[in-house]
């Protein structure tokens, strides 16, 4: 494999030149949320050593359920609700799964920034450090949050919207209605 040049895009996926990202001196590195999230991947990859495809699939399924564990893994909804969130809230209370799925993807497209993904990754890693989430599940979650179609992001949004609408309880069992 050819070595990345200093002026080539960084391999971490940040979109920044390598000389200003992973190849930079720490004081010169661009610290975008996307680059920071990408830099977490090598740090957690060691927790996936020796995991086969079947086990990885099981870990990926556990990632979907992470928002059930802790409120810190619920996507933070804005105080002023967007039309997409309003549509998702309505669809969740109306039990219209197709409309909810469509609205959920619209919300993710507008609010699923790398800032928010990084916050979710940091919350997962904190729960890992507290022993609530296993290291392999946390590693899979970090890799998933780096993907554009992050399933943890969608799951986190879905849970936050369902709790906000009163359709589901918080992880501690509280029912919130807006």
Q: In this structure, are 86 and 107 located in the same domain?
A: yes
According to DSSP H, which parts of 65-113 are helical? Answer: 83-94, 97-111
Q: In this structure, are 95 and 161 located in the same domain?
A: yes
Query: What does DSSP assign to residue 4?
Result: P
Q: In this structure, are 26 and 75 located in the same domain?
A: no
Measure the CA angle with vertex 124, ends 118 and 126; round to 5°. 100
pTM of the model: 0.78
What is the distance between the alpha carbons of residues 105 and 100, in angstroms, rounded to a whole number? 9
CB 154 within 8 A of CB 104: yes
Rg (CA), the chain: 18
Determine which helix (DSSP H) or strand (DSSP E) holds 166, and give its type and residue range: none
CB 92 within 8 A of CB 146: no
According to DSSP H, which parts of the chain are helical? Answer: 33-45, 53-64, 83-94, 97-111, 114-129, 135-146, 151-165
In tens digits, what is the pLDDT along the chain, a chain of 178 residues? 456 677 888 777 667 777 777 666 555 455 788 888 988 999 999 999 988 889 988 999 999 999 999 989 999 888 888 899 999 888 888 777 898 899 999 999 998 999 999 999 999 999 999 999 999 999 999 999 999 889 999 999 999 988 888 878 777 776 665 5
Q: In this structure, are 20 and 83 located in the same domain?
A: no
Q: In this structure, are 122 and 147 located in the same domain?
A: yes
How many separate domains does the chain show? 2
Note the pLDDT of residue 29.
Answer: 52
Assign 17 to helix, strand or coil: strand
Asked whether residue 98 is assigned to any structural domain, the reply reads yes
Q: In this structure, are 56 and 120 located in the same domain?
A: yes
Of 126, 124, 146, which Cα lies nearest the Cα of 63? 124
Q: Among all chains, which residue has been given the structure tokens 């002023």?
A: 80
Q: In this structure, are 71 and 126 located in the same domain?
A: yes
Q: In this structure, are 25 and 113 located in the same domain?
A: no
What is the distance between the alpha carbons of residues 152 and 73, in angstroms, rounded to a whole number? 9
Asked whether residue 174 is assigned to any structural domain, the reply reads no
Structural domain harbouring 2: 1-31
Q: In this structure, are 57 and 8 located in the same domain?
A: no
Q: In this structure, are 13 and 27 located in the same domain?
A: yes
Record the tokens describing residue 100, joined without a space.
């909810």
Note the pLDDT of residue 14.
Answer: 67
First to last CA, the chain: 54
Q: In this structure, are 6 and 77 located in the same domain?
A: no
Q: In this structure, are 48 and 22 located in the same domain?
A: no
């Amino acid at each position: 494999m050819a070595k990345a040049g200093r002026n080539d895009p960084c391999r971490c996926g940040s979109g920044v030149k390598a000389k200003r990202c992973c190849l930079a001196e720490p004081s010169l590195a661009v610290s975008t949320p996307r680059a920071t999230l990408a830099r977490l991947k090598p740090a957690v990859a060691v927790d996936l050593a020796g995991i086969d495809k079947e086990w990885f699939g099981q870990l990926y399924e556990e990632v979907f359920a992470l928002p059930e564990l802790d409120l810190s893994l619920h996507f933070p909804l804005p105080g002023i609700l967007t039309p997409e969130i309003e549509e998702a809230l309505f669809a969740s209370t109306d039990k219209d799964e197709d409309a909810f799925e469509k609205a959920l993807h619209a919300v993710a497209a507008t609010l699923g920034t790398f800032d928010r993904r990084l916050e979710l990754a940091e919350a997962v890693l904190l729960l890992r450090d507290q022993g609530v989430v296993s290291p392999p599940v946390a590693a899979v979650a970090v890799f998933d949050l780096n993907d554009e179609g992050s399933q943890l992001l969608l799951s986190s949004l879905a849970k936050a919207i369902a709790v906000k609408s009163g359709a589901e309880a918080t992880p501690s069992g509280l029912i919130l209605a807006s």
